[in-house]
Chain A
């Protein structure tokens, strides 16, 4: 049972910048598109993971945030509790374009599989070998209380050792990922206020 819960680490990726624990960690070229920014950020990680290039943009965003967040971390028993605003709409539109016209009707399984928002969590589970609890929610803005309660439930019930929570929003060139790790160690308590501070 874990009654002391802390926000152990956080990573934010937004506006071509990566922040770790609230401090700027790396900045891409200001005018870069998301896809160019993501390529540069991926090179920075120096990992051999060719699957990254096959992912849709939402999964790329979440992959990067999680990889920076989990550097030098014990990955045992980390559950995933995430939310966003646009679900998989960015990829939904690409699939729709492939079926819109009769003359150019050509749906692709490689695109269609990403028309579900939880796929980005599936990618993280494969990458970090997390056979753990997962949930993905859709809301207009970060559902702080629900995510806080759900993460606390998983820890208190012993269904997870730590929980990677966060916001994973991407639609066209607008993106914002705020991932944070909740667990038994640290100084910043897992409270609504401290969670909200991560979004400032």
Chain B
């Protein structure tokens, strides 16, 4: 069967490093990091990529709503303005916990993800019913994969994919219970890495069948079938996800020029990724993780990192892995340590998460 190609046109993001993608890019290339030490409710002194709330409220087009709603709206606004949604435009949302902090005051209905989705759709003026992907830490990338597949099936002509999550006492306390929080800003793939720093962000991409700047060549999202809270030691699900993406793309895996890895800086995740990349012969491909700048932004991360990858390819510049100094995984990897000029034609974006989930997507700059 011949599938129509789907293209990524333009992306945007909101994070502690800035309220749009160009500002984020500028700050990233200057080596700024969004991770600070803060108290999250009863969890004191944790390293988190937290927004300064007073910086964002005046910029939000509507006056009421949660921080997450403001961030998602600001991320999507310029794209919705430029690519006017039609009756056949999908809104695909990605979040793991949405407005979960409303539970703290007993607002169970408000904490429902579908309530958030409805509000966002109404504010953005999108008339189709939102498709909400909630699939742990791969949600952001899986939302793009889902949008691409539904466009290929003809259910929609185009899509606004919007991902967002905020740091809350709810998630920080949970990661602390897992003893997975780093006592310093996280250090992906490094020998001294000691867990994640959580972060918050919103990211958005516009995609359609019309030719755009980046073509999606292939994707996969395959489960490890191994453990619900730890990755497979063999990287099986990630390997299979990448292999599925390569097969769909019909390319030689050796033509991948750059990998935007997941790189959470937990011992097991980064090790698993090194095993998976090495099994596929990708150990020489320049690779980075952006978690050292933003922290792990959960349901936003896959799309946030895809947005930065697109910008990176446009600029011909690869970013270093903030926090990385000395390789600390069992398999060799080409972890970027400095700002590197490189024309990247084909990039691989990956993500992995709780529930044994993995996702991979290969994009090509046109």
Which chain A residues have a beta carbon within 8 Å of chain B's beta carbons?
A: 1, 80, 85-87, 89, 92-93, 95-96, 98-100, 102, 105, 107-109, 112-113, 115-119, 121-123, 125-126, 128-140, 143, 145-146, 149-150, 152-153, 156-157, 159
Contacts and interface: CB of A to CB of B under 8 A. Distances in A.
B134 interface: yes
A173 B323 CA distance: 47
A122 B354 contact: yes
A167 to B, nearest CB: 14
Contact of A138 (B104, B114, B176): B114
Given A116-B355, A119-B355, 9 more contacts: A87-B112, A92-B97, A113-B229, A118-B134, A125-B356, A138-B114, A139-B132, A146-B131, A157-B1
Interface residues of B, number: 57
A93 B108 CA distance: 8
Contacts of B240: 131
Contact of A134 (B104, B108, B131, B135): B135
A138 B228 contact: no
A138 B133 CA distance: 6
A137 B236 contact: no
B357 A99 contact: no
B355 A105 contact: no
Nearest to B174: A112
B133 A115 contact: no
Contacts of A89: 108, 111-112
Contacts, number: 162
B3 A157 contact: yes
Interface string B1-42: 101000000000000000000000000000000000000011
B111 A150 contact: no
Interface string B222-237: 1111111100000011
A124 B112 CA distance: 24
B223 A96 contact: no
Contacts of B223: 80, 121-122, 125, 130-134
B339 interface: no
Contacts of A139: 114, 129, 131-132
13 contacts: A86-B112, A92-B111, A98-B173, A109-B174, A116-B355, A121-B223, A122-B223, A125-B223, A126-B356, A139-B131, A143-B131, A146-B150, A153-B149
Nearest to A127: B225
A122 B150 contact: no
B210 interface: no
A82 to B, nearest CB: 10
B142 interface: yes
A131 B146 contact: no
Interface in B208-244: 220-229, 236-237, 240, 244
A122 B356 contact: yes
Contact of A136 (B133, B174, B220): B133
B55 interface: no
A123 B97 contact: no
B248 interface: yes
Contacts of A119: 136, 228, 354-355
B225 A140 contact: no
Contacts of A108: 177
B251 interface: no
Given A130-B223, A153-B152, A122 B177 contact: no
